Amino acid sequence: MTQRLHLVFGGELNAPGSTEFRDVDKLHVVGIFPDYASAYRAWKAEAQRTVDDAHMRYFITHLHRMLDEGKESSPTREIG
């Protein structure tokens, strides 16, 4: 079975409609999860916890898409 890792993180945005963070040093990394369902539960909990702050936003990132070493254009191949 293919491993599909998901990162949940968030922080304060410059503007509610943007995806640019005000201070990347203050990003909240919720964690890395083995499947979308558990990542979604973690994302939802953080999103609901900060619902009253329009500038706070959380995201789910699909890490497994960045780790595909088999693709020629994979960014991880350019590191080494």
In the structure encoding, which two tokens stand for residue 10, read together? 């968030």
More confident residue, 29 or 17: 29
Residue 43 CB-density burial (10 A; 0-12 exposed, 13-18 middle, 19+ buried): buried
Q: Kindly tell me if the per-residue pLDDT of 37 is higher than 60.
A: yes
Tell me which CATH code domain 6-74 carries.
Answer: 3.30.70.2400
- Residue 76's pLDDT is 47
Tens of pLDDT, residue by residue over 42-60, are 999 999 999 999 999 999 9
pTM for this model (two decimals):
0.78
28-33 sheet: strands from edge to edge: 28-33, 6-12, 56-62
- Residue 77's pLDDT is 47
Q: Kindly tell me if the per-residue pLDDT of 23 is higher than 90.
A: yes
Q: Where are the domains of the chain?
A: 6-74
**Residues 70, 65, 29, 25: what is their CA dihedral angle, to the nearest 10 degrees?**
80
